[in-house]
Amino acid sequence: MGQGTYVEQEYNRDMAYIADRILAEPDPAKAPGGETAVGEQEWPVEPGRYHLAVARACPWANRAIIVRRLLGLEGVISMGIAGPTHDEDSWTFDLDPGQVDPVLGIPRLKDAYEARVPGYPRGITVPAIVDIPTGAVVTNDFPQITQDLSTQWRAHHRAGAPDLWPEELREEMDAVNQRVFEDVNNGVYRCGFAGTQESYEKAYHRLFEALDWLQERLSTRRYLVGEHITEADVRLFTTLARFDAAYHGHFKCNRSKLSEMPVLWAYARDLYQTPGFGDTTDFGDIKSHYYEVHRDINPTGVVPLGPDPMVWLEPHGREELGGSPFGDGTAPGPIPEGERVPVANNPTLGLDGLVSASRA
At residue 350, the pLDDT reads 85
Is 189 designated active site?
yes
How far is residue 163's CA from residue 326's CA, in Å, rounded to a whole number?
8
At residue 294, the pLDDT reads 95
Statement: residue 15 has pLDDT above 90: no
**Topology agreement, domain 4-156 and domain 167-359:** no
- DSSP annotation of 336 reads P
Domain 167-359 falls under CATH 1.20.1050.10:
yes
Q: How confident is the model at residue 6 (pLDDT cuts 50, 70, 90)?
A: very low
Is 6 designated active site?
no
pLDDT digits 0-9 by tens, 30-55 = 999 888 889 999 999 999 999 999 99
* Mean pLDDT, range 131-138, rounded to an integer: 98
Q: How confident is the model at residue 352 (pLDDT cuts 50, 70, 90)?
A: low
Q: How confident is the model at residue 4 (pLDDT cuts 50, 70, 90)?
A: low
* Helix 231-242 with 59-71: angle, nearest 10 deg: 140
Could you tell me the pTM of the whole model? 0.95
* Mean pLDDT, range 242-262, rounded to an integer: 98
Q: How confident is the model at residue 353 (pLDDT cuts 50, 70, 90)?
A: very low
pLDDT digits 0-9 by tens, 208-248 = 999 999 999 999 999 999 999 999 999 999 999 999 999 99
User: Annotated catalytic residue: which of 50, 58, 253, 290?
Assistant: 58
Strand pairing class (136-139; 128-131) = antiparallel
Superfamily of domain 4-156: Glutaredoxin (3.40.30.10)
Q: How confident is the model at residue 354 (pLDDT cuts 50, 70, 90)?
A: low
* Mean pLDDT, range 59-86, rounded to an integer: 98
Q: What is the 3-state secondary structure (H, E, C) of 226-266?
A: CCCCCHHHHHHHHHHHHHHHHHHHHCCCCCCCHHHCHHHHH
User: Annotated catalytic residue: which of 189, 200, 223, 272?
Assistant: 189
Domain residue extents for the chain = 4-156, 167-359
Statement: residue 357 has pLDDT above 90: no
In sequence order, what are the beta bridge partners of 55?
82
The H-or-E segment that residue 129 falls in is strand 128-131
